[in-house]
Amino acid sequence: MAIAVWRKAALAAYLLAIVPAAPAEAADFNDYPTAARSDYVFGCMKANGENRQSLEQCSCSIDVVASLLPYDSYVTAETVLNMAQVQGNLGGQFRSSPQANTALNDLRRAQAEAEVRCF
């Protein structure tokens, strides 16, 4: 009886060592609000055609972006994009700062990966 208990414990320890950790919860990758996802998909569809295929591709695209870029970083990059359109000194700060460039580059890398995977 003691050997059977030991074997079960050894098997459990072995399985824990070789089986990868359980995948992260869906909520960990789904921190983008529905409205943000919808805005992205609507804009993407405007640029890629307003049909069923573009809906599927654009939905895939935001899923990839969300898996690669935390929502806070996405908001930062979107803010930079919007503020960079402002004329004058205020807009210039968003067009030329290293932090703004980093945020935009991160978003562009995520979107490039989404383009490869989804389109």
Q: What is the DSSP string of 3-48?
A: HHHHHHHHHHHHHHHHSPPPPPPHHHH--S-HHHHHHHHHHHHHHH
pLDDT level of residue 18 (50, 70, 90 thresholds): very low
pLDDT at residue number 7: 46
Q: What separation in angstroms does the CA of 83 have from each of 7, 30, 72, 86, 108?
A: 63, 26, 16, 5, 17
Contact 63, 117 (CB under 8 A): no
Q: Which amino acid is at 97?
A: S
pLDDT of 22 higher than 50 = no
pLDDT level of residue 21 (50, 70, 90 thresholds): very low
pLDDT at residue number 93: 84
Residue 24 carries which DSSP code?
P
Which tens digits make up the pLDDT trace of 55-110? 999 999 999 999 999 999 999 999 999 999 999 888 888 888 999 999 999 999 99
Which tens digits make up the pLDDT trace of 24-56? 444 555 799 999 999 999 999 999 999 999 999
